[in-house]
């Protein structure tokens, strides 16, 4: 079937080209000079008018449009660049302000802390001084109390010992000798205590 179609196609094409060639015995219409002058005339007329109108009216407008667009784009780019630079400057300024404030805040904080610490220190020192004074006073009082208590104790000891001796013997003994004995004993006792 396919072979038949191809064969038919070839045969028909041969016939067709043959008939076409025979029909075209007049040759190419391009070589017929009958309308050459007319074609030249109309070509010069239309092409000439086309050239004049394009070059005088249309092309300058197009080139003008392109130029203005180019210049406008350049201008826009320029302004954009300028604005970008400005923004960068502003951002830098902003950063600087923030940094300054941070430093200031830090300084303020530090100074305030120092002040508070100093205050605390002063107060503590004065308090310590007061406490020391109090301690010294108390120690003095204690010392005094110690001294007076010893004297009293010896007095009481002498009195009680004299009373004891009086009751035991029924005689008064010289107070000074008693006191000497008592003092000697208490001293020994004290030394014993201290020694231990």
Residues lying near other proteins in the complex (CB under 8 A) are found at: 5, 8-9, 12-13, 16-17, 19-20, 23-24, 28-32, 34-44, 46-47, 49-51, 53-55, 57-59, 61-63, 65-66, 68-69, 72
Q: 43 or 103, CB closer to other proteins?
A: 43
> How far is residue 182's CA from residue 134's CA, in Å, rounded to a whole number?
35
Q: 59 or 185, CB closer to other proteins?
A: 59
Q: 46 or 160, CB closer to other proteins?
A: 46
CB of 20 vs other proteins, minimal distance in Å: 6
> How far is residue 18's CA from residue 196's CA, in Å, rounded to a whole number?
156
Who contacts 166 (Cβ-Cβ below 8 Å, separation ≥6)?
172, 173
> How far is residue 64's CA from residue 74's CA, in Å, rounded to a whole number?
15
CB of 79 vs other proteins, minimal distance in Å: 15
CB of 94 vs other proteins, minimal distance in Å: 35
CB of 86 vs other proteins, minimal distance in Å: 25
> How far is residue 136's CA from residue 143's CA, in Å, rounded to a whole number?
10
CB of 21 vs other proteins, minimal distance in Å: 10
Q: 57 or 170, CB closer to other proteins?
A: 57
DSSP letter at 33 equals G
Neighbours of 182 (CB within 10 A): 20
Q: 20 or 168, CB closer to other proteins?
A: 20
> How far is residue 20's CA from residue 31's CA, in Å, rounded to a whole number?
18
How far CA 72 is from CA of 58, 63, 69, 75, 80, in Å, comes to: 21, 14, 5, 5, 12
């Amino acid at each position: 079937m396919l072979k038949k179609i191809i064969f038919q196609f070839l045969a028909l094409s041969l016939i067709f080209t043959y008939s076409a060639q025979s029909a075209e015995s007049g040759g190419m219409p391009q070589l017929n000079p009958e309308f050459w002058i007319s074609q030249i005339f109309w070509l010069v007329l239309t092409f000439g008018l086309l050239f004049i109108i394009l070059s005088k009216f249309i092309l300058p407008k197009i080139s003008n449009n392109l130029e203005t667009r180019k210049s406008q784009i350049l201008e826009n780019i320029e302004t954009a660049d300028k604005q970008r630079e400005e923004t960068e400057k502003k951002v830098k300024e902003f950063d600087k302000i923030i940094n300054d404030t941070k430093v200031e805040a830090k300084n303020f904080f530090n100074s305030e802390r120092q002040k508070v610490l100093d205050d605390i220190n002063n107060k503590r020192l004065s308090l310590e001084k007061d406490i020391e004074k109090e301690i010294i006073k108390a120690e003095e009082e204690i010392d005094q109390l110690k001294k007076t208590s010893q004297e009293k104790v010896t007095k009481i000891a002498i009195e009680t010992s004299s009373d004891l001796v009086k009751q035991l013997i029924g005689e008064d003994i010289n107070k000074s000798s008693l006191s000497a004995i008592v003092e000697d004993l208490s001293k020994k006792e004290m030394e014993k205590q201290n020694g231990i």
